[in-house]
Amino acid sequence: MIFQKSNEKKATEAYNLALEAKYDGNWDESLKQNQRADALRPGDEATLWNLGIAATALSCWDEARRAWRTLGIDVNDGPGEVLMKEMRACVRANPNGAADVVWGTRIDPARIRVENVPLPESNRRYGDILINDGAQEGTRVSGGHEYPVFDELGIWKQSAHSTFEVDLTMPNETAMENLKNMCRENGMWVEDWGAVRMLCEACSRGNPGEHVCTDEPTGQSRYGFAANSETSLRGVLQRWAKVGDGAEIGNVTLAVGGLMSN
């Protein structure tokens, strides 16, 4: 009994050290302490989740796969990168800074590929693959379906796409749809940042209770683009403006650089 209590105490100490290391982004230490906690207290769900996250951050695929399968999560066979059936979700990019909740695709339990053009203040990009925490922190609704929101823990792989902010005169919805189609055909993406809702912290987390809500539109006419280069983006914009009656292009500004711009 004394031995069991001693192991339980040591496991809790290791778990807490691993948790601290996770939020510091110290993945080597987090993995080491989670492995220690798992050896002392096998099968603990919280430990296995954090072990899987740390192993994923370090691309230690065999260890990540072991954690997920022990938790009963269906992932692919090894060796190599862990993947699961892709599913839609949201991630709160840069949650400790200028946070932005964006849509993405979960490619495994601890990684989400960003599929919006995040606001530049978040310093994240379309196509970034982010490490996500395991706990759900709010929800978003699309097409009548509710999807979970997870907090980002760091960038696993930076996107080749840069983020550009462009001043546009958008004459109508048809012009916007034409621009979206042209971007998709050329491996780019566009977002109307002026339509983004700025939620208060309580609403963003999904369980506000009674509070004074500061939910409000940005009120700004801003368009964000994901593209590999300014040259390719300008080419698409010029072709779009030629066929769009009343469409005009203003300033094009690099907001967040991708791998191709470094």
User: Cβ of 86: how many Cβ atoms within 10 Å?
Assistant: 12
Mark whether 170 and 144 lie in a shared domain: no
Mark whether 204 and 113 lie in a shared domain: no
Mark whether 134 and 188 lie in a shared domain: no
Residue 53 belongs to domain with CATH number: 1.25.40.10
Q: Let me know if residue 81 belongs to a domain.
A: no
Mark whether 177 and 214 lie in a shared domain: yes
Domain finish residue from 108, 126, 157: 157
Mark whether 133 and 179 lie in a shared domain: no
| Main-chain dihedrals φ then ψ at residue 138, nearest 5 degrees | 105, 175
Structure tokens that stand for 129 in this block? 């693959």
Q: Let me know if residue 136 belongs to a domain.
A: yes
Task: Please tell me what DSSP assigns to residue 116.
Answer: S
* Predicted pLDDT at 202: 57
Could you identify the residue written with the tokens 């929101």? Answer: 149
Domain span holding position 41? 2-70
* Predicted pLDDT at 219: 40
Structural contact between residues 79 and 61, judged by C-beta atoms closer than 8 angstroms: yes
Domain finish residue from 130, 157, 184: 157
Mark whether 255 and 175 lie in a shared domain: yes
Mark whether 91 and 150 lie in a shared domain: yes
SS3 category, 111: strand
Mark whether 109 and 182 lie in a shared domain: no
* Predicted pLDDT at 195: 76
For the chain, the maximum distance between any two Cα atoms, rounded to a whole number of angstroms, is 80
Mark whether 201 and 230 lie in a shared domain: yes
Mark whether 44 and 123 lie in a shared domain: no
Distance CA 237, CA 176 (A): 12
* Predicted pLDDT at 198: 54
Mark whether 11 and 60 lie in a shared domain: yes
Tens-digit pLDDT string for the chain (262 aa): 555 668 999 999 999 999 999 999 999 999 999 999 999 999 999 999 999 999 999 999 999 999 999 999 999 998 999 999 999 999 999 999 999 999 999 999 999 999 999 999 999 999 999 999 999 999 999 999 999 999 999 999 999 999 999 999 999 999 999 999 999 999 999 999 987 655 555 565 664 444 455 555 444 468 999 999 999 999 999 999 998 888 999 999 999 999 866 5
For the chain, what is the total number of helices (H) and then of strands (E)? 7, 11
Mark whether 141 and 192 lie in a shared domain: no
Q: Which candidate, 58, 65, 66, 71, places its Cα nearest to that of 29?
A: 58
Domains in the chain, number: 3
Chain-centroid distance of CA 168 in Å reads 27
Domain finish residue from 157, 181, 208: 157
| Main-chain dihedrals φ then ψ at residue 87, nearest 5 degrees | -145, 150
Could you identify the residue written with the tokens 């080419």? Answer: 235
Q: Let me know if residue 152 belongs to a domain.
A: yes
> Global pTM?
0.88
Q: Let me know if residue 106 belongs to a domain.
A: yes
Distance CA 234, CA 225 (A): 11
Q: 162-169 and 216-217: which strand pairing?
A: unpaired
Q: Which candidate, 94, 150, 139, places its Cα nearest to that of 119?
A: 94
